[in-house]
Amino acid sequence: MTNELIFPSTFLWGAATAAYQIEGGATEGGRTPSIWDTFSHTPGLTKQGHTGDVACDHYHRFRDDIKLMAEMGLKSYRFSLSWTRIQPGGVGPVNPEGVDFYQRLVDDLLEHDIEPWVTLYHWDLPQPLQDAGGWPLRDTAERFADYAVLAHHALGDRVRYWTTLNEPWCSAFLGYGSGAHAPGLSDPEAAVQAGHHLMLGHGLAVRAIKEARPDHDLGITLNLYAVSPQRDTAADADAARRIDGLANRFFLDPILLGEYPPDVVEDLSQVTDFKHVRDGDMEIISTPLSVLGINYYSRHVVAAPIEGVEPEPYWRAPSNWPGSEHVRFVTRGVPVTDMNWEIDAPGLVEVLERVHREYPKLPLYITENGAAFVDEVVDGEVDDIDRVAYFDAHLRACHTAISSGVPLRGYFAWSLMDNFEWAWGYTKRFGMIHIDYDSQLRTPKSSARWYADVIRRNGLAAQ
């Protein structure tokens, strides 16, 4: 069909998950508690008191899950390592049982011709490191680098792609700013310090792994947003500049340019004096990468405050945005997902083209993109047409970006399966595979079959 949208022949089609969201086996195989174990077991912090103790039981069922991946035709699987399964407590030697689990997982992926893509950190800091101060403490960056070396030594003979951190914005500003995520603290200065030390740990880990295996592909995954002012006014434009600074440039500029944006430093001047930044830090943080991962879900539309009117409560709590708490996040009446996130596929094109235009040229990967919807099992089937439409629109956006010259090399759908959705517990479903949490029955949804067809044809049908 001549009007099909065909992707490059080397395009990497994958799906993604995270350890605490799917593994379960929380106290098995030598694993010790992380901040998410503590957070989820604290009454009132997660929906319905849900925890990741069992989750999708992937720890015991990974071979069955890999068979489902193979049936979908996945070319790659992006998963994270549980730090406390690899290195209990966050210090000391590796845990042989934990290493063995991931070696068996990787071996089974390779046997099914599925490229393993490892994320070293997806938010599950060992609880003892948090007790010592967590990411606002500089020492945590050093501990992360030590762990990265241990993990790479255990799996580097069979894993080529390595992501250091997943979405450090969430770790810093949701974990230490609003407290919506583990460890559940609310201290704007600590959030900024955490962001810096996360990036420092990233740079230290990249340097150490590159020294061991310079041929490996190393990167970081950032959750980036298109940010728009609500109105064409100077005040709304400044609101957009501020949120773009904290959401995007706070991480992009240090990692890719070796400096904090001056306007962001000024915006944060009432929060921190940046004395936690030491000589040499920016050189470490900006250690050259071979890939950049981008997670994209939605657009931020923002506005200046209205005098005398309090901002509406929103999932993005004001303390997520230190120094810019006055900015209003507004909705436009467009379709939303079950997370109440506006669906905006053109924003993905904006993000990709902007990164390619304004930063050093790197191969880019969409390391997460997906949507939660209310899924119903009817006669053993889940016809998630809204999710299919979401994926279709965003993959067309990817193709548009590639056609404009963006070096986009792959796409990982979020998520392979329904899972523990952090503070939302099991009340939100992002998966292409439905999970019955009582029976652990796996049921591929319509989106799984649709995505399998996309992979098979290496593209999208004509509209």
Which of 290, 272, 418, 400 minimizes the C-alpha distance to 348?
400
Q: Is the dihedral of CA 451, 457, 460, 463 positive or negative?
A: negative
C-alpha to C-alpha distance for 280 and 196, rounded to whole angstroms: 13
Known catalytic membership, residue 368: yes
Q: Which amino acid is at 182?
A: A
Which of 147, 306, 85, 316 minimizes the C-alpha distance to 223?
316
Tokens of 34: 């992380």
Known catalytic membership, residue 167: yes
C-alpha to C-alpha distance for 119 and 367, rounded to whole angstroms: 10
Give me the catalytic one of 23, 342, 350, 368: 368
Q: Is the dihedral of CA 172, 173, 174, 179 positive or negative?
A: positive
Give me the catalytic one of 167, 342, 350, 421: 167
Integer angstrom CA distances of residue 303 from 297, 333, 404: 20, 15, 30
C-alpha to C-alpha distance for 122 and 449, rounded to whole angstroms: 27
Tokens of 183: 């460890």
C-alpha to C-alpha distance for 147 and 350, rounded to whole angstroms: 35
For tokens 């099914």, the residue is 112
User: Which residues are the active-site residues?
Assistant: 167, 368
